[in-house]
């Protein structure tokens, strides 16, 4: 069986990360920004898994488990904050949630 070379995984991971970063920077909807962050996290996960496999080390897979845990927590708290903000401001537009400024 022909195995996929690690560089392909790395390229895919980098591409996904770039898409996620672009999403965070460009989109104004906070929920979409949160989804883009998930995408970035999973891009990193993919890279870890690929390198773990090609290097024959279990370390990368362990870290991925942690990342998944943190991502779940982040999604929960992030959505809670967004709901709270929406109740107060009736918007989820990042441009309008700018109270913390000069």
Partner 1 sequence: MMTAPFPALGLILLLPALGVAFNIFLGPRLGRRAVNFAGPAAIFIAFGVGCWAFATLLAMPPGSALTVTLWPWIEAGSFHVDFALRMDALSAVMTLVVSGVGALIHVYSAGYMAHDEDYARYFAYMNLFTLSMLILVLADNLLLMFVGWEGVGLCSYLLIAFWYTNPEFAYNGRKAFVVNRIGDAGFILGILTLVYVLGAHGAWTLAFTDMRAHRDILAEVWAPFGVPVATVAGLLLFLGATGKSAQIPLYVWLPDAMVGPTPVSALIHAATMVTAGVYMVVRLNFLFILSPTAMELIATVAGVTSFFAATIAIVQPDIKRVLAYSTISQIGYMFLGAGVGAFASGIFHVMTHAFFKALLFLCAGSVIHALDGEQDMNRMGGLWRKLPITYATMLIATLAISAIPGFSGYFSKDLILESAFNSGHFKLWLLGVITADLTSFYMFRLIFMTFHGSSRVDPHRAEHLHESPPVMTIPLFILAVLSIVGGWVNLPKGLLWGDAFVRFLAPVTGTYHPMIEVSGAAISLIALASTLLGILFAWLLYIRQPELPGRISDALAALYRTLLHKYYIDELYNLVVSRPLFWIAGPVLARRVDKGGIDGVVDGSALTVENSGEAVRRVETGNVQHYVLVYLFGVIAIAAYYVYLVIR
Footprint of partner 1 on this chain (CB under 8 A)?
21, 24-25, 33, 94-95, 97-102
| Residue 98 C-beta: closest distance to partner 1, Å | 4
Is the Cβ of residue 53 or residue 85 nearer to partner 1 in the bound state? 85
Report CA dihedral (61, 65, 71, 77) to the nearest 10 degrees: -160
Name 29's bridge partners: 93
Is the Cβ of residue 90 or residue 95 nearer to partner 1 in the bound state? 95
| Residue 96 C-beta: closest distance to partner 1, Å | 10
**CB-based contacts of 55, cutoff 8 Å, min separation 6:** none
| Residue 44 C-beta: closest distance to partner 1, Å | 13
Is the Cβ of residue 35 or residue 94 nearer to partner 1 in the bound state? 94
């Amino acid at each position: 069986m022909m195995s996929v070379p690690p560089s392909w995984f790395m390229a895919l991971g980098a591409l996904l990360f770039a898409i996620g970063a672009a999403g965070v920077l460009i989109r104004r909807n906070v929920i979409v920004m949160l989804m883009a962050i998930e995408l970035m996290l999973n891009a990193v996960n993919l890279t870890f898994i690929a390198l773990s496999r090609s290097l024959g080390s279990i370390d990368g897979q362990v870290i991925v488990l942690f990342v998944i845990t943190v991502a779940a927590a982040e999604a929960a708290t992030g959505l809670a904050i967004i709901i709270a903000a929406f109740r107060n401001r009736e918007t989820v537009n990042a441009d309008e949630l700018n109270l913390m400024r000069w």
